Amino acid sequence: MVKYLKSIKYLFIVLLLTQLTGCGINTIPTLDEQANADWAQVQNNYQRRADLIPNLVATVKGYAAHEKDTLTAVTEARAKVSSMQVTPETLNNPQAFKKFEAAQGQLSSALSRLMVVSERYPDLKANQQFIALQAQLEGTENRIAVARRDYINAVKAFNIEIRTFPGRLWHWAMYSDLKIKPNFTATTLNADVAPKVEF
């Protein structure tokens, strides 16, 4: 009888372990890794944009040297972004994440102003190097948008998992060191208001 009870006990443990492997115990770390990978892709695309800026500024400077304020704003925004230390902990620190996001927003705004300035200089707009850099920058901005979208979706899946059942139980029991991840927000003031266009 004792041998029979031990066999049932071992069978119960094996069945329990089998059930645990199929009930989402690995979902939280899997979603965490996906969010981290998508974040790395966002950073990669931001770095690509930052690498294009010096050539773009140099090209514009040759044609529009008296647009010093705009060129300085772009250079300073790039320097600020480049000086920020972005670590994996940035994802777990909402203040650091917002600071990073704000710096990237300032750089985007400065680049937009630079593109507006370029419209005033037909020779610049016809320059092949400027055209190539502008195309690369536009492509990079599209990549940033896609990478941010992927990151937003990964963060959404991760945050939902650790806040709902049964993921909440696994989070409490095994992954309590993993915190809810911050997400991107609109950084432009009045981003919800359509711009006014006058002809």
In the chain, the largest separation of any two C-alpha atoms, in whole Å, equals: 95
Does the global pTM surpass 0.75? yes
Q: Which two tokens stand for residue 42?
A: 């966002």
Per-residue pLDDT, averaged over 67-77, amounts to 88
Distance CA 39, CA 91 (A): 8
The rounded distance, in Å, linking the Cα atoms of 26 and 38 is 18
CATH number at residue 81: 1.20.1440.20
Residue 9 lies in a domain: no
Number of domains in the chain: 1
CA–CA separation, 77 vs 79, rounded Å? 5
**Tens digits of per-residue pLDDT, 102-140?**
999 999 999 988 888 888 888 887 888 899 999 999 999
pLDDT at position 20 is 57
**Does residue 4 fall inside a structural domain?**
no
* Residue 157 within any structural domain of the chain: yes
Give residue for tokens 């994440």. 97
95 located within any domain: yes
State the pLDDT confidence band at 17, using cuts at 50, 70 and 90.
low
Domain range enclosing 46: 26-174
